[in-house]
Amino acid sequence: MIPAAEALRLPRARLSDSDAAAVEALLAEIDAHVRAHVTRRGDVVSIPAGKVNADIVGEVTHRLRKLGWVCGWQQIAGRNPITMQETIIRFDLALTPEDAAYDAVDILENQNVFQTFPESTKNS
């Protein structure tokens, strides 16, 4: 079986120029949304269905995972009022910090707590 790293170098496995640009634009949009709305548990970003395809979803997920996010995509369907057919209208991307991110913040916050006390209390 071909190793995954080698398979990703095959011509059909590469992102098209338009998909690569869409990935960068979507990551910038997600970043702005998260900076404005994230809570301790994470965030949900709604993305119109026309902005993504399977390759874009895969690449965005890969990049977000490398940054410490757990990603969950959900297709949201709605009925077309004219044809009454159900169609995908958007994707909701649930982002949750991975456990290591919580651990890193907890360590930093504990260090900051210790920095507020006199030197003699750090080893107590």
| Residue 122 confidence (pLDDT) | 46
| pLDDT for res 108 | 75
Report the C-alpha gap between 121 and 102 in whole angstroms.
Answer: 25
Rounded Cα distance between 60 and 78, Å, is 24
- The pTM for the full model equals 0.79
Instruction: State residue 81's pLDDT score.
Output: 82
**Tokens 């790293």 belong to which residue?**
5
- b/e burial code for range 18-43 (CB count within 10 A of at least 16 → b): ebeebbeebeeebeebeeeeeeeebb
Q: What is the predicted pLDDT for the residue at 112?
A: 61
DSSP class of residue 39 equals B
State residue 124's pLDDT score.
Answer: 46
Q: Measured between alpha carbons, how far is 19 from 26 in angstroms, rounded to an integer?
A: 10
pLDDT by residue for the chain (124 residues), tens digit each? Answer: 999 999 999 999 999 999 999 999 999 999 999 999 999 999 999 999 999 999 999 999 999 999 999 999 999 999 888 888 999 999 999 999 999 999 888 887 777 655 554 554 445 4
